[in-house]
Chain A
Amino acid sequence: MNWLTNYVRPKLQALVRPKEVPENLWRKCPACGHMIFHRDLEKALNVCQHCGHHLRLSVGKRLEMLFDDGKFQRIELPKTADDPLKFKDQKRYTDRLKEARAKTGEQDAVVVAHGKMGGIGIVVAAFNFDFQGGSMGVAVGEGIVTAAELAVLQDAPLIVIPASGGARMQEGILSLMQMARTTVAVERVKEKGLPYIVLLTDPTTGGVSASFAMLGDIAIAEPAAVIGFAGARVIETTIREKLPEGFQRAEYLLDKGMVDMVVPRAELRATLVRLLSLLRNRGPAGDLLTLPLDTPDAFPEDSARL
């Protein structure tokens, strides 16, 4: 063309148009390397349209995606002691907390909400991986306990969505104790006959995987999510060999019998709605089935033996 279109027009446009920051508009898929337009990524619930890789999803988006019409109510969690051990490594734990709070706008790594899913009232506790790697300290324990208590109170199923590296080291032994604490909490839900469903997202490891996260009535995992107890690096240095392909991924766990299903994000809501309906709206058969106790003819051979 000529210098008018090639040179002058872009210059003029640059003056008129608001400045755009291209890095925010495109994201590179960490799995296949393709660039994805942010609107496409958002529409696909942070799943890469090229390779199907599931990128992490923010807690807010996660809850919107799961509840009916994206509507839910957040529960305020009871306050807990911020730094019970007065822990300091190269940084003060209180400073790390401040940073995480500023970064996420959240008090700690778990969000509890209630609302409807497929018309059924449910309680959800979802981890925020952006807050200190979703690590479990006393506040997270409090979140799980609160969610479980609310589920019992509302006679509602409980869905927990971990995304956590494990225990929060800076809370030392008290974070370890949350393993026992959260176990009691979810057991109470189960004992009430309420469904306890765990949706394992990337990553679910350490003390979180070795407590409430592995105790679900039903365990659903997102594709390729890392789920396991020991960290891959720790295992590699212990056994000094390469880990098998796909080790500790959701599909590996499915293969080993540790989860019920691996469900792509796009089908998660429908799957959960179906499961909740199957468990909560059981139909007449569940109530009416009785054993023919007063008809001895029902088992003639048995009565003959008696």
Chain B
Amino acid sequence: MHVLDFEKPIAELEGKIEELRHLAGGDVNIADEVGRLQAKVDKLLRSTYAKLTPWQKTQVARHPERPHALDYIRALIEDFTPLAGDRCFGEDRAIVGGLGRFRGSTVMVIGNEKGSDTESRLKHNFGMAKPEGYRKARRLMEMAGRFGVPVLTLVDTAGAYPGVDAEARGQAEAIARSIEACLDIRVPLISVVIGEGGSGGAIALAAGNAVLMLEHAIYSVISPEGCASILWRSGEAAKDAAEALRLTAQDLHKLGVIDQVVPEPLGGAHRNPDLTFKTLSLAIDSALRDLAGVEGGVLRARRREKFLQMGRTGPV
């Protein structure tokens, strides 16, 4: 497993356990020793992850082995049927989307996919979408609206792709229209920030009735590195910027920007993806139940009112 720098002491202990297991045969004394070490690992994990700094959370949110959108779709959605293209220019694999069943009911799922190895990362452009991606998202949201199907968005992107072709095809307009679609549809829209919620590229999918965030996910107007290079004039200050931006799920919940923090397994989602899927499934289910039976126009009005108030009531 990829080890983050602050996890080194944990990794060392885990390495020792592996070594012991390797050396052991069926020796009973070693099982004791392994148990003792494992308890130590758990304790260390618990204490480390209980007080992660915003910068450490940023690293966890970007952990290469953290489950990505397609992992959640595989685990939570039956009969997933991907739908492609913006009907205008092309198919952007940085945003995946399609119809499927969540706990028996049809949903439209739309998510940023970062990819999990070199090949898939290239295929999905590292989760950085171009205008065609946001136009596809908009198309799928509108379709869901027509069929009365709830929309589930899974947000995990460093941001929209900064490139000449993306600008030429109207990146700004595509994002604006995607936000507009989020705020316009007359079906429940549940957004989950599963990893990195990067700026305009994230809000394009995240103006939901309920916005959930995994415990160690981040959501910010700019990356800590970008903020540091502009305000501190040094990329080195990313730690300070992460601190100042208040980008953790816990801070955003206090600010009233997100509705719920979904707990992750000990040591982060990547240490126990199955448990993460189960917890998130329950959270999504309960968010959907809260909105079940609410008339479409009311759903839309409530969503709009919620975002219209952002910053107005004065945060804590």
A in complex with B = yes
Distance (whole angstroms) from the CB of B237 to the closest CB of chain A: 8
Number of A-B pairs whose CB atoms are under 8 Å? 184
Identify the stretch in B27-35, B36-44, B241-249, B268-276 within 8 Å (CB) of chain A at 4 or more residues.
B241-249
Contact B163 A210, beta carbon cutoff 8 Å:
no
**B308 surroundings in chain A (CB, below 8 A):** 145, 181, 184-185
Contact A177 B307, beta carbon cutoff 8 Å:
yes
Contact A176 B169, beta carbon cutoff 8 Å:
no
Contact A174 B307, beta carbon cutoff 8 Å:
no
Cα of A243 to Cα of B165 in the assembled complex, Å: 11
**B312 surroundings in chain A (CB, below 8 A):** 78, 80, 138, 142, 145
Q: A88 in the interface, Cβ–Cβ < 8 Å?
A: yes
Q: A37 in the interface, Cβ–Cβ < 8 Å?
A: no
Q: B266 in the interface, Cβ–Cβ < 8 Å?
A: no
Q: B167's contact among A78, A84, A137, A230, by CB below 8 Å, is which?
A: A230
Instruction: For B175, give the chain A residue with the smallest CB separation.
Output: A210
**A187 surroundings in chain B (CB, below 8 A):** 180, 183-184, 304
Q: What is the interface of chain B mostly: helix, strand, loop, or mixed?
A: helix
Q: B11 in the interface, Cβ–Cβ < 8 Å?
A: no
Contact A180 B247, beta carbon cutoff 8 Å:
no
**B247 surroundings in chain A (CB, below 8 A):** 172-173
Contact B167 A248, beta carbon cutoff 8 Å:
yes
**B171 surroundings in chain A (CB, below 8 A):** 210, 228-230
Q: Mask for B145-183, Cβ within 8 A of A = 1, else 0?
A: 000000000000000101110111111110111011011
**B70 surroundings in chain A (CB, below 8 A):** none
**A243 surroundings in chain B (CB, below 8 A):** 164
Contact B167 A247, beta carbon cutoff 8 Å:
yes
Distance (whole angstroms) from the CB of A235 to the closest CB of chain B: 5
Q: A223 in the interface, Cβ–Cβ < 8 Å?
A: no
**Given A169-B227, A214-B173, A183 and B220 contact (CB-CB distance below 8 Å):** no
Contact A177 B311, beta carbon cutoff 8 Å:
yes
Instruction: For B128, give the chain A residue with the smallest CB separation.
Output: A238
Q: B3 in the interface, Cβ–Cβ < 8 Å?
A: no
Contact A183 B231, beta carbon cutoff 8 Å:
no
Distance (whole angstroms) from the CB of B170 to the closest CB of chain A: 5
**A173 surroundings in chain B (CB, below 8 A):** 219-221, 245-247, 252, 255, 257
Cα of A248 to Cα of B164 in the assembled complex, Å: 9
**B166 surroundings in chain A (CB, below 8 A):** 229-230
Cα of A87 to Cα of B246 in the assembled complex, Å: 9
Cα of A257 to Cα of B170 in the assembled complex, Å: 9
Contact A176 B255, beta carbon cutoff 8 Å:
no
Cα of A169 to Cα of B245 in the assembled complex, Å: 8
Q: A178 in the interface, Cβ–Cβ < 8 Å?
A: yes
Q: Mask for B213-251, Cβ within 8 A of A = 1, else 0?
A: 000000111100011001110000100110011110000
Cα of A301 to Cα of B204 in the assembled complex, Å: 48
Distance (whole angstroms) from the CB of B162 to the closest CB of chain A: 3
Can you name 20 A-B residue pairings with CB atoms under 8 Å?
A80-B311, A80-B312, A81-B314, A84-B311, A85-B244, A90-B232, A145-B312, A173-B246, A178-B311, A179-B179, A181-B307, A181-B308, A181-B309, A184-B308, A185-B308, A187-B180, A205-B172, A214-B176, A229-B166, A257-B170
**A residues near B, CB below 8 A?**
78, 80-81, 84-85, 87-90, 137-138, 141-142, 145, 167, 169-181, 183-185, 187, 205-207, 209-215, 227-231, 234-235, 238-239, 243-244, 247-248, 252, 256-258
